Amino acid sequence: MHGDKQKTNLSLSKTFTPVSCRSSLWTLLSIATLNDLCIFALDVDSTYLHGKIDHDLYVTFPDGYGRPGKVTKLNNALYSLPEAACFWHEDWEAKLKELGFTPLGSDTGVFLCKKSVGIMAIDTHVDNGTRICSSEEEELRLKADIRKFYMRKQKDTFKPFKVLGILVMRDTHRVMLKLSQAEYIDSILQQFELSDCNMVIMPTDKGSHLH
């Protein structure tokens, strides 16, 4: 695809993709920790390739394919397509609704499913996020249902795992959940060449909020 050859009168309006708020993620993690619910992270492989295109879209063949002057019609999105994220979310939302989930009114990036055995919640951030289940049986069932539609990357949530680059460490015996962004802080220091700067301990009042 050639992004520099987009027609001026062609509006690509379907580029917005809802993602969950950070406050929703913190709330779900807190509820899961306090109620001893199962938490598991999920990444979907080749995310954007699952999105179904709802209009005619043609692209030229890549170099070396041996079909000069020919074009091909796309049925599924590609990663360089501006609408790819939106097409993926539409497909993802449709699949979740088949499984009994509905988007939360206050945050359309969060999906809930209420059952007699408890509640399941999915916090979505494009191709990854956090899933909350009431039991290990429900967790296994949800994973199996998702595998019917998508290939997913396995993550062991009994060990420290990452959600949106945030390291999550859980101690079920102490009913504790710790979040760490040390890796992100280190990357910022490296970006501004401050990795070797001297550390300074700066006391703050208990309960202070940094903005």
**6 three-class SS:** coil
Q: What is the pLDDT of residue 101?
A: 93
CA dihedral 36, 38, 41, 47 (to 10 degrees): -140
Its pTM stands at 0.72
- Compute the distance between CA of residue 2 and CA of residue 157 in angstroms, rounded to an integer: 41
Locate the domains of the chain by residue range.
16-191
Give me 64's structure tokens. 């070396």
Residue 196: name the closest of 210, 186, 208 by CA. 186
Q: Give residue 137's pLDDT.
A: 85
Residue 13 confidence (pLDDT)? 64
pLDDT of residue 102: 93
The DSSP-derived string for 139-203 is HHHHHHHHHTT--EE---TTS-EEETTEEEEEETTTTEEEEE-HHHHHHHHHHTT-TTPPP----
119: which strand partners?
A: 114
Query: How much is the pLDDT for 169?
Result: 85
The second-level CATH assignment, the architecture, of 16-191 is: 2-Layer Sandwich (3.30)
What local confidence, expressed as pLDDT, does residue 16 receive? 77
DSSP conformational letter for 76? B
User: For each successive 10 residues of the chain (211 residues), what is the average pLDDT?
Assistant: 53 74 89 88 80 80 74 82 84 90 91 85 84 86 85 60 80 85 86 84 74 61
pLDDT tens, 140-179?
888 888 888 887 665 545 566 777 778 888 888 888 888 8
Residue 3: the pLDDT is: 46
Write the burial class of residue 158 (CB in 10 Å: 0-12 exposed, 13-18 middle, 19+ buried): exposed
